[in-house]
Amino acid sequence: METETIIRTDYAEVMQKSYIDYAMSVIVSRALPDVRDGLKPVQRRTLYDMYELGIRYDRPYRKCARIVGDTMGKYHPHGDSSIYDALVVMAQDFKKGQALVDGHGNFGSIEGDGAAAMRYTEARLEKITQEVYLADLDKNVIDFVPNFDETEKEPQVLPVRIPNLLVNGAEGIAVGMATSIPPHNLGEVVDAVKAYMKNENITTKGLMRYLKGPDFPTGGIVVNQDELLKIYETGSGKIRIRGRVEVEQGKNGKQNLVITEIPYTMIGANIGKFLNDVAALVETKKTTDIMDISNQSSKEGIRIVLELRRGADVENLKNLLYKKTKLEDTFGVNMLAVAQCRPETLGLKEIIEHHVDFQFELCTRKYQTLLAKEVERKEVQEGLIKACDVIDLIIEILRGSKNQVQVKECLVSGTTKGIKFKSKTSETMAKMLNFTERQATAILEMRLYKLIGLEVEALLKEHETTLANIARYEKILNEYDCMAQVIMDDLDAIKKTYARKRKTSIENAEEIVLEEKKIEEVEVVFLMDRFGYAKIMDKAIYDRNKEAADADNKYIFTCMNTDKICIFTNQGKMHTIKVLDIPTKKLRDKGVPIDNLSNFSSQQERPLMIMSMEQVKSSSLLFVTKQSMVKVVEGCEFDVTKRTIAATKLAQEDEVLFVGVSDYSEFVVLQSEKGYFLRFLVQEVPLKKKGAIGVRGMRLAESDTLTGAYLLESSKEYTAQYGEKQVNLNRLKLSKRDSKGTKQRS
């Protein structure tokens, strides 16, 4: 019986090796494109599977579910959603510089609508995919490797004849790295490749005479032309893109701003966000020039119309949109790809170098395969021509032989044993035959009609063509310039057939200088009802409707429109909202949920006290938690620029029960769940920083918690409910902080 050996290894070493193996697997086999064909494995496998299934551009569409299932079963066992998502993106011409899949059905929209389920949609290969990405697979131009279960063979890389990494760009997130490459114009990319092939010492600046910059399918304007050279030299940087805005004449002498092209980064949900951002500019009175906004986009293209008031400052409004919305955005460039089985950040010239090297490799293997076939064909043709000259002898050999083996031996080596000849002369001539094995096989398979005169002439012409092809292929393989010319001619043909006019303009634009109108400072009223809906109301309107407004709302206070609203919550946080960000409404208008404006972290977070920042800064605030921790904090500590801060430190599983202004109060009363009440002086609560946890207010019994906290002024009467009993808080025994309190009967 074999004995087992336990190998002791440091846990950190095992984890490090395992994580590195996992990371490299994700980087090389999942997330990053190969520099040679510009495709991720899932894209490559999907296209190859469509090619294998015969779903060509000139054949009927097939259900996407069939394509996805076949790809997953044969090549990509990582779930159907990743395959279908890749298939959908390759069919979306608004995402790819050159769509690779011809989709039939709902494949989503530029506004972020998702594609229909794969059981409804159909697809087939685009013509360019078949002719430029998948051609020559039968000519041994690339290596095939076993699939995941070694039952099929899949291509290691596709024989793509254009730099797809540049034409279609790429996006991918791996482990510890990500790639983001913008799409480019096919015609310009071809010109840049040809320029490099003519002069390998050309600089990136020289290449950019042909390839001006990115060409996004959504159009737009690249406005930092001078920064592009550095981006293409280093392979990383930021491209600034603006949407294209046109001014059209509207009705009644008014003008309309029409957005006809959007930044590439606005594709999807960001179009809806842009519309919301414009509406917010109007609601917060950042602009009064926009009367209405409508999205009139269709299959013909983007068309977002902003109707302006008469006399609107169009240029300033454009600048406002560029500055405050996604109409101007940045595209982060990181040209990371897998080159020679390792991830590398590549510049423009390096990508083209890798592509050209790959093309020479493809061309070499292609013409070596073609040459071998032509040499084989030449051998057969020469044998047939020679056979035509001695056809009578061959027929005599055939008639005098007992089997095919005898005939073949005679044709190849002149062996006449066992063959009957009509004369000794024929036998002597037969002994002189020396056809090759391949020639002998072709002669035996030759049909009699090939002996017709015209057929013999056709054979001779075919032989001449074969000799010419051999000479041409040998020249291509032996002369660098000749092979380079073949590649360039191929690129010219691709450009002529598939190149399109550039959509994205490239220029240098000045930085946006926005002249924001100074906001007129006015006093307004903040109102929030018991359901958490907040709004701002003009003070004059509030004064006229004070009684009705007071009856309907829980929080009411005056503040300046330039102030902030502070919201203290049970989770010990303080959220701030600009008053200008809260919509101004009429008395009967519904407000907006306060938790939407302040981005509460969870549904359990709720407001305990709401005040204006000016009120907070001039106050001292008492904090009381459920576990009976108390402290007073000076309000000036909360005057910060951040939207959300920690207002107090909390113990584990504790939460804030009460926040109140302690400046005008004399006593604090704490109420516990088990009916204990403790009244003590406010002065006994120490002044602490907002980052402190505080001191104990009431000495709680085991499993008891606070359920109420009250600030009392000596001149007023206060009561609290405990069970069915009303407790007069002013008459409670005055005790010291950190004592047990008085038990009340319910």
Cα(325)–Cα(327) distance, integer angstroms: 5
CB 261 within 8 A of CB 243: yes
- At how many degrees (to 10) do helices 391-400 and 404-413 cross? 140
CA distance from start to end of the chain: 79
Give the Cβ contact number of residue 59 at 10 Å: 11
Cα(265)–Cα(33) distance, integer angstroms: 20
Instruction: Answer left, alpha or beta for residue 379, where phi above 0 means left and psi between -120 and 50 means alpha.
Output: alpha
Alpha carbon of 725 to those of 48, 85, 674, 675, 731: distances in Å?
80, 64, 14, 11, 14
Of 656, 660, 641, nearest to 564 by C-alpha is 641
Place of tokens 């035996």: 444
Residue 256: phi and psi, rounded to 5, are -120, 140
Cα(202)–Cα(216) distance, integer angstroms: 26
The 8-class DSSP code of residue 156 comes to S
Residue 715: CB partners within 8 Å, gap ≥ 6?
none
Residue 641: CB partners within 8 Å, gap ≥ 6?
none
With H, G, I as helix, E, B as strand and everything else as coil, classify residue 93. Answer: coil
CB 48 within 8 A of CB 134: yes
Angle, CA of 92, 95 and 96, to the nearest 5°: 85
With H, G, I as helix, E, B as strand and everything else as coil, classify residue 563. Answer: coil
Token readout for 477 is 């393989």
Cα(635)–Cα(126) distance, integer angstroms: 66
Cα(111)–Cα(270) distance, integer angstroms: 8
Residues constituting the chain: 746
Cα(66)–Cα(351) distance, integer angstroms: 35
The 8-class DSSP code of residue 2 comes to P
Place of tokens 């002149």: 414
Catalytic residue IDs: 120
CB 271 within 8 A of CB 110: yes
User: Amino acid identity, residue 180?
Assistant: S
Token readout for 630 is 């108390």
Query: Residue 515, exposed/middle/buried by CB under 10 A (0-12, 13-18, 19+)?
Result: exposed
Give me the helices (H) in 432-479, please: 437-445, 453-478
CB 425 within 8 A of CB 393: no
CB 283 within 8 A of CB 275: no
